[in-house]
Structure 1
Amino acid sequence: MSQIRLSVAMANYNHGMFLEERISSILEQLEADDASTDQSVSVIEKFAVIDTRVRLICNTQNMGVVKSANRAFSSSRGRYLCSLSAGDRILPGFIDKTLGVLLEQLDIAICCSACAIWFDGFPDKDPQEVYVDPLIDNAKEILVFRPQQVVKIFRTTSF
C-alpha cells in the first residue's frame, strides 16, 4: 500500500444535503460525524463502501465542531492534513496542486488558497466568477506561510 500523503478531515453535523457533492469533490477524506440526526451517516457510509479512502468516525452524542474536528485530526493518517468545514467544496486539482507546493517547499507550516462564499447551496456559476474573500487579496494561487510567519500572524491578529 502506498503511503498516505494527505488526509482531508471535516466535522459534520446535519449537513447531509451537501455531503454527496462535498465527498465527490474530495474523495480522500476522513469524516467525523457529530451524532447527526439527518441522512448524513448513510451518505458517508455509501461513499465508504465505494472508496476505502473515505472513513467515518461517528460520535455517540453531539460534541461540537471543535471536538469533532480534533477527533478527525487525531485519526488522520496522512503526512499532511487538510481541514475543511461542513459545507466546503474543493475544485478539481486542488489536492494535487497543494501537495505539489508542499512537497517542493518542505519548510511550509500552513498552505491555503482563496475561497468563494455563498449561502444557498452551490451556485451554477463557475467558481472563478463568484465573490472571493479579499482577506487573501483575490489570490489565484496557493499561499504558503512558514512557521515564523504563522507565529507572527497569531500574535498580532485575531485570525
Structure 2
Amino acid sequence: MKAFFRNYIKESLASAFFVVCFVCSFLSCSNDYCKEPMDTSMEVLFATRRDTSGVSLQSLKVTDRKRNLLLLEDTLSCSSVRLPLAAFDTISEFRMDFYRSGVPYSKVLVVKHKNTEEFVSAECGCRITSKIDTVYMNNAYHGDSIVVRNKFVLGRFDERNVKIYWNFD
C-alpha cells in the first residue's frame, strides 16, 4: 500500500509539473504588446484661433526632411496627421505643404525628443517610445502657436500629442 501511494504521488507531481510547464510556455509566447505598433508616431491636430475644435487642410503633403521621404500626399482635406519620429535621432523635421482657402502654405515642423528602447520579448523585439521635449516651426507666421498636449509618444492611435494653431486670419 505504501508503494502505491508513493507511485501515485510521483505520477501526480510529474503530471502537475508537466501542466505547469505547458501553461507557462503557452503564456510566455502570447504577448499583447506585439499587437501594438513598435514605432513611435505622434499625432498632430490642426486648429485656428477661431475654430479650436479642428480645421481641415487641403492637399496636405508631408515630407520627412532628414530622410527625404514622402510621408503623406493627400488630395482630400484632413484635420490631423500621424508623423513618425526618428528612432535613432533626437530631432525630427517635417515639411508640410498645404492649401487653405486656395492659398498655398509651406511650414517646417521641428520636434526635439528623447527616445527610449524597451525590450518587449524575443518574438516582438524592441519597442521605441519617445518623450517630446520641444516643438516649433522654422517659418512660423506671427500668431502661429503649438501646444504639446501629451509629451509621451507610445505609438498608440488614441494619443493626441501636438496641436498646431494656425494664424490664417
Q: TM-score range by the shorter chain?
A: under 0.3
**Quick check: which one's strand share is greater?**
2
**Quick check: which one's helix share is greater?**
1
* TM-score normalised by the chain length of structure 1: 0.26
Larger Rg: 1 or 2?
Answer: 2
